[in-house]
Amino acid sequence: MPNYIKYIFKNVLFLFVYLTIFRLLFYFFALDTTGFDTSELKNAFFLGSRFDLKLASLGVFPIAILVLILNNRFFVKPIFKKTANFYWVFFYVVITIFYLFDFGFYNYLNTRIDATALRFTTNLMISLQVMVESYPVFTGLFGLLILGILVYKFSNWQYKIAAKNSFVLSIKRKSIYFVSTIIVLSFFIYNSFTHYPLRWSQAFFSKNIAINQFALNPVLYFFDSFAFRSEGVDLEDFKKYYPIISENLHLPKDTISFERKMIFNKSSSEKMNVVFVMLESLGVKPLGYYGNAANASPHIDSLLRKSIHFSNFYVHKSGTAASVFSSVTGLPDVDDINTASRNPMIIDQRILFDQFDGYEKLYLIGGSANWANIRGIFQANIAGLQIFEEGSYEMENRADVWGIDDYELFKESDEEFKKLHEQKKPFVAYIQTASNHIPFTVPDKKEEFIPLSKDSISADVLEKSGFKSIEQLNALRYLDFNVGKFLERAKKSGYYDNTVFVFFGDHNTAMNPTDKYSKEYDLNIQLQHVPFIIHAPKLFAPIEIKTYGKLIDLFPTVMSLMNINHTNYTLGRNLLDPFAAKDSFSFVYLRMNGEPTIGILKDSLYFSKTLVTKTKGLYDLRTKTLDDLSKKDSLKASQMDSLLMAYYHSTKYLYFNNKKLAH
């Protein structure tokens, strides 16, 4: 191996060791390790080492590219020697400063440094004074100077060693070394054998917050959170609107608290299983039950007739990651930059999923839980959760980018549920489907399912149904088939009668406008209107409920229906509570005319407001026209505006003030 290649990987090793030293210092001098689980600690250290290797490789990459281009010439000209020495001194000093700030940040707030630290720069003089009075700053500066000198000498020594005994390589061997080095460094940065790279969310695998903090690399974590640096709560606005949300949710008016204890006198001694099924890209518009001309959903249509279902149920945001975040945390995704699941500063929440005491808890997905950093939402907040993802299943025939298809996912889920049923262990599970999503991958044949050909459905029916293609229609038919097959398996496996099945859409698929729900299409909210079905025919009589509801009402409604005691810290409510029904509403977050917009649906009215220009509109969903009623009925518009803003600012507040207590 030529010396210039050794030079690259030696620097990766040295930097990795340096970062590991800081990890050990953090463990011994910053962490309170009382009550640490040994296996979790080992896992955190292993994950942390992977993050450190990723940072070390990222740090070496710029120099590595230069060295690979120049080869031995890098060790001939003095300019390259100066470049290398300057780069390493700068990098090691900056990294050290980062870690020193991280130690202070953690000592102050019990969390690793993230982009919120930038708020201290708004009052820079005060922050500097606090730092000087609290820490040995001048001693630290002197130490950094000594570090810079040592790194310079060490870099110089490395450079001289690499410059010795260089030999000429053929172009072919140079090319091999070039490509191989790039691949190895890229793998160290990607740091995963799955379809998703190593991400910060993997560090949040424990309910012990300190364990998770130990696993993080503060430099990577800071830049991961940098995109969300502007996210925050306006406390003045929140306090202004809190009386409105407190009245709507029946909260205390004299103090800020969202805690509502739900204690049921008729708590069942026998624990029923609960299975939440997120139906990918399924709104009400494609379903035959709601009047779609294609009649492509016979199983789901039949399910609606046999279940409790909500016909005015809306998700908050038209994105899968947003709906997973909202359904699990009980808080809407109102993040305009990306999705809330990707924001490392808000995933730590007190949620209802964690309050199924005595239940086995499962999350099942056909692909990787690293997708959209969803892993952090589940693992950080749910004790004892088992995640089933790619690599977890016995049979894995990857269908497309989303992993195994819904048929295999439901089949594998049924196997797990059957085992727990036979062991008499109650379970609560969350299944995330994916096949009804672009690229709409369906098999040529699966048992009795056969996709329709273009010739088997008339162009007129396809147009009236709103489907954009036969592939989109077949994807819905395949999802529908798999829902029916799943319930059929549940009956054969024996747990059907003892299980409450909860089906809901994460958002509607993008469809062409039709006569059905044309008003929602014009208002750009047809993507948010989805089915919500609670199926347990042995327990509950079928009924259609027209109360307006929203995704975060999912868990409170199901747990209340099952008489499960819980404490609700979120904005969600029980849609079956007759006293709450009159105050219930739906909330959506979307974009109108290029800017973020929030909207509220209540009493067949829709009120929307853009967040930048503050443009408002009030519309009657029962009419065909798009007349803005906000000026004609200014009192109603004002009331809905106040409720909308109260809800929006309360969401922002709870992002940062609904966190679990540190262990």
- Give 29 or 490, the one with higher predicted confidence: 490
**Signed CA dihedral, 7, 8, 11, 12: sign only:** negative
Task: Tally Cβ neighbours within 10 Å of residue 35.
Answer: 9
For residue 127, give every residue at least 6 positions away whose Cβ sits within 8 Å of its Cβ, in sequence order, or none: 120, 121
Question: How high is the pLDDT of residue 452?
Answer: 94
Sign of CA dihedral 49, 51, 52, 53: positive
What's the pLDDT tens digit per position in 245-260? 999 999 999 999 999 9
pLDDT tens-digit readout, 457-485: 988 999 999 999 999 999 999 999 999 99
Return the pLDDT at 663.
Answer: 36
Q: Which two tokens stand for residue 77?
A: 């000209």
Measured CA to CA, the distance from residue 16 to residue 19 in angstroms comes to: 5
Burial class (CB in 10 A: 0-12, 13-18, 19+), 266: exposed
pLDDT in tens, 158-211: 998 888 866 777 888 889 999 999 999 999 999 998 878 898 888 888 878 788
The answer on pLDDT for 362 being more than 60 is yes
Q: What residue has token string 């969600």? A: 572
Q: Is the pLDDT of residue 12 over 70?
A: yes
pLDDT at position 638, please? 96
Q: What number is the average pLDDT over the span 484-492?
A: 98
**Backbone conformation region of residue 440, classed left if phi is above 0, alpha if psi is from -120 to 50, else beta:** left
Give per-residue pLDDT as tens, 589-617. Answer: 998 877 889 999 999 999 999 998 899 99
pTM of the model: 0.80
Q: Give yes or no for a contact between 533 and 503, defined as CB atoms under 8 angstroms apart.
A: yes
Whether residue 550 has pLDDT greater than 70:
yes
Number of neighbouring beta carbons within 10 Å of residue 194: 16
pLDDT at 231 over 70: no
pLDDT of residue 165: 67
pLDDT band at 120 (very low <50, low <70, confident <90, very high): low
Ranges of beta strands (E only) in 427-494 are 427-432
Which parts of 385-454 fold into alpha helices (H)? Answer: 406-422
**What's the average model confidence in pLDDT over 286-304?**
96
What per-residue confidence (pLDDT) applies to 116? Answer: 64
Res. 7: pLDDT tops 60: yes
State the pLDDT at residue 152: 95
| Average pLDDT of the chain, as a whole number | 91
Contact 261, 564 (CB under 8 A): no
pLDDT (mean) for 112-120: 73
Show the beta-strand stretches assigned E in 226-282: 260-262, 273-279
Containing H/E element for 545? strand 543-545
Q: What is the pLDDT of residue 660?
A: 79
Cis peptide before 556 (omega within 30 of 0): no
pLDDT at 108 over 70: no
pLDDT band for 397, please (50, 70, 90 cuts): confident
Percent of the chain with pLDDT over 70: 96
Residue pair 215/47 in contact by the 8 Å Cβ criterion: yes
- pLDDT at residue 662, rounded to an integer: 44
Contacts of 39 (CB under 8 A, 6+ apart): none
Name the band, by pLDDT with cuts 50, 70 and 90, for residue 310: very high
Look at residue 662 and give its three-state secondary structure: coil
Give the span between the Cα atoms of 508 and 527, in whole angstroms.
4
Higher pLDDT, 194 or 520: 520
Cα-flanking dihedrals φ and ψ of residue 397, to 5°?
Answer: -105, 95
Higher pLDDT, 411 or 270: 411
Whose tokens are 């202070």? That residue is: 104
pLDDT of residue 126: 64
pLDDT band at 269 (very low <50, low <70, confident <90, very high): low
